[in-house]
Structure 1
Amino acid sequence: MRIGGLSLLAEVRRYLECRRKVVGYALVILVVGLLFLGLIRNWRYVDWSVYRLDVRYLLLSLIPHALGLGLGGVVWALIVLKVESGQGFWRSFRIYFLSNIGRNLPGGIWHIAGRVYLYKRAGASKATAAVATGVELLLAVWAGAATYTTGLLLRPVQPLIPREWLIALLFLLGILLCPPVFNGLVNWFVSRSAGESKTPVAVGVCTILRWVVLYLIIIFVGGIVLFLVGNAIYPLDWEALPSVAGAWGISMAVGGLTFWIPVRIGIRDGILAVALSEQMPFSAAVIVAAMWRVWISISEVVWALVAACVGRLRSE
């Protein structure tokens, strides 16, 4: 009977995994198809004379990108300290940079796998990286949706997602961020994952608000990076900055909400291109989104190598 139950459970898991892959492939095909369709429809109207490649903007974007990565590392380390106080701040800060390489690999889970492996080597509980990543994801989705909503208020455009849905999403995620609900979920997940008794996580209102504010700053700084990368390809005025930051925010929010899809190559970048098309021609938006992905990936790899070298020097 037990064997039959296990067999049924395995079949259910295989079925759910198959459904996840089907949904993932369908979304990827839909987003990529819409991008190509938009390019074909707008190709004849492209004015190539306004396009450029200004390397100065790309180099300038490295400054706010380094700031954004640093703030991301700070928030990550603070979250880990709350989940498992035995982990040092600088160790978590370094792990954040090292694991960022995995963000740019297909599948969307490799940075999580890298974190789990690195924390396991450091003697941490196997739930540490998973729980901290879940908290980080919750903060990123809320901050991204809030930034996009703010951008709509400052410079109204046709929203990708109805405002009512955005407000409902912010409200629901806000409930999850309330300390009683937040602490209950975190402690439940830790107890289920770790399989051992641990000191309950107790995060106060001030701490959660601090994380939220920091993540709002991170999203906006990312918007500045995107604005500079966009200016390297297509001229944008400073009035477009809130909307560009909102475009980055909504792509982060959608990317976070689709974390459960194993195949999601191009979904976040496709959403980014569509959101940017409100501020520039569609063809320029696609080029900027592609340039953004390549440029940021190179920058994150470089900073990961720097973190690895610093860690090696400290160990010596």
Structure 2
Amino acid sequence: MKQIRARLKPFLRWAILGGTLFFLGTVLKQHWQKVVSIRLGNTGVACLAIALGVTLLAHICAGGVWSRLLQDLKQPVNGIGLVQAYLKTTIAKYLPGNVWHYYGRVTAATKAGATLETATISVLLEPLLMAAAALLVTLLCSQPIAARYGLAIISLQWLSLILVLASVHPRIINRLVGYVSKLKQKATRTAIDSLPPRLEHYPLLPLVGEVGFLLLRSLGFLLTFLAISPIAPGQLPLLLSAFSLAWLLGLVVPGAPGGIGVFEATAIALLGETFSPGLILSVVALYRLISILAEAAGGGLAWLDEQRFA
């Protein structure tokens, strides 16, 4: 069974990627005239510029959360240096495999003084907290989704949230750190001189930080939407819930690197009945561009800041 799963896994990823690209291509073919007819005025350009700044701020916030996770695990690391490393590695998520940003962060954390096992646990813990934050934001604005898709999807979200919140409990994390430490001991055939680091309390503050990250990302999406079309106050819960759910699926569904295609297809599917599909396609395309520019700018600014003190 394991061999069969290993052989099917690459095909599953290509199937998901092919399906999402086919869906997006079909929508673009049907509504391309609406997309190319959109024009941005001065107000729209200003909204996009603010969205770029807000999205960059969101990534800085996420870097601070990762730094705090390592500090909670009693690692002697420099917070500013880790934020810089986080920003420099974020753009690597678009490389094939979708793991190189995690590899870069583990390497940066170990160079900063963290143990290999703790650095590895930290990069696994961070996306779990991100997923919990996305589920929280989605559930807080879940009324439009529940009205359209029924309570079943809300129940599934609550169940997922409970499982994710339980998985980051100190008892689970400390056992995982201990297990990784034993694996390292067996691989290197060396004795452990001291007990592995422990998480002394529930990572509530990092979770709040990830909620802030999601809200900033949501604000960037809303500003991108506002650059093209006005938003009624009653539409805000739907947009926030749909964005958070689409972003979450882009994070967890195996497909294109960086969630490209999965996020866009989900957003179009959730919002296509309320807004014009051509409008949503334009918004998600612009938002993807804003996201990539913010990630590239964050990495570039972090590199320049390092060179300034080199």
Instruction: Report the TM range for the smaller structure's normalisation.
Output: 0.7 to 0.9
Deviation at 1:22, TM superposition (A): 0.9
Deviation at 1:128, TM superposition (A): 4.0
Provide the alpha-carbon RMSD of the alignment: 3.1
Deviation at 1:312, TM superposition (A): 1.8
Tell me the TM-score normalised to structure 1 length: 0.82
**Counterpart contact for 1:84–1:128, Cα < 8 Å:** no
What is the DSSP-based 3-state SS (H/G/I as helix, E as strand, rest coil) of the residue aligned with 1:87? Answer: coil
**Counterpart contact for 2:91–2:101, Cα < 8 Å:** yes
AA of the residue aligned to 1:34: F
Cα distance between partner residues in 2 of 1:251 and 1:186 = 31
Cα distance between partner residues in 1 of 2:274 and 2:10 = 33
Determine if the alignment matches structure 1 residue 23 to structure 2 residue 12: yes
The C-alpha deviation readout for 1:91-116, integer Å capped at 9, x for no partner, is 21111111111123343212112223
What is the DSSP-based 3-state SS (H/G/I as helix, E as strand, rest coil) of the residue aligned with 1:86? Answer: coil
Residue number in structure 1 paired with 2:275: 280
Percent identity between the aligned chains?
A: 20
Deviation at 1:266, TM superposition (A): 1.7
Deviation at 1:257, TM superposition (A): 2.4
The C-alpha deviation readout for 1:48-87, integer Å capped at 9, x for no partner, is 87x4322111012133223312211110101122346122
Gaps of 5+ in 1: 1-10
Residue number in structure 2 paired with 1:200: 196
**Counterpart contact for 1:80–1:87, Cα < 8 Å:** yes
AA of the residue aligned to 1:211: P
Cα distance between partner residues in 2 of 1:294 and 1:261 = 16
Judged with a 3 Å threshold, the aligned counterparts in structure 2 of structure 1 residues 40 and 312 are, in CA distance, closer, same or farther, namely closer
The C-alpha deviation readout for 1:244-276, integer Å capped at 9, x for no partner, is 222232123223323598896422332233334
Residue number in structure 2 paired with 1:60: 50
Cα distance between partner residues in 2 of 1:300 and 1:263 = 11
Cα distance between partner residues in 2 of 1:263 and 1:149 = 24
Cα distance between partner residues in 1 of 2:184 and 2:274 = 45
Greater shift, 298-307 or 105-114, is seen at 105-114
Residue number in structure 1 paired with 2:102: 112
Greater shift, 138-147 or 192-201, is seen at 192-201
Q: How many residues align?
A: 301
Cα distance between partner residues in 2 of 1:263 and 1:103 = 5
**Counterpart contact for 1:147–1:249, Cα < 8 Å:** yes
What is the DSSP-based 3-state SS (H/G/I as helix, E as strand, rest coil) of the residue aligned with 1:158? Answer: helix
Cα distance between partner residues in 1 of 2:221 and 2:250 = 16
Gaps of 5+ in 2: none
Tell me the TM-score normalised to structure 2 length: 0.84
Judged with a 3 Å threshold, the aligned counterparts in structure 2 of structure 1 residues 126 and 35 are, in CA distance, closer, same or farther, namely same
Greater shift, 158-167 or 259-268, is seen at 259-268
Cα distance between partner residues in 2 of 1:178 and 1:117 = 25
Among candidates 205, 213, 217, match of residue 212 of structure 2: 217
Cα distance between partner residues in 1 of 2:240 and 2:261 = 19
Residue number in structure 1 paired with 2:237: 242
Greater shift, 300-309 or 64-73, is seen at 64-73
Cα distance between partner residues in 1 of 2:296 and 2:141 = 30
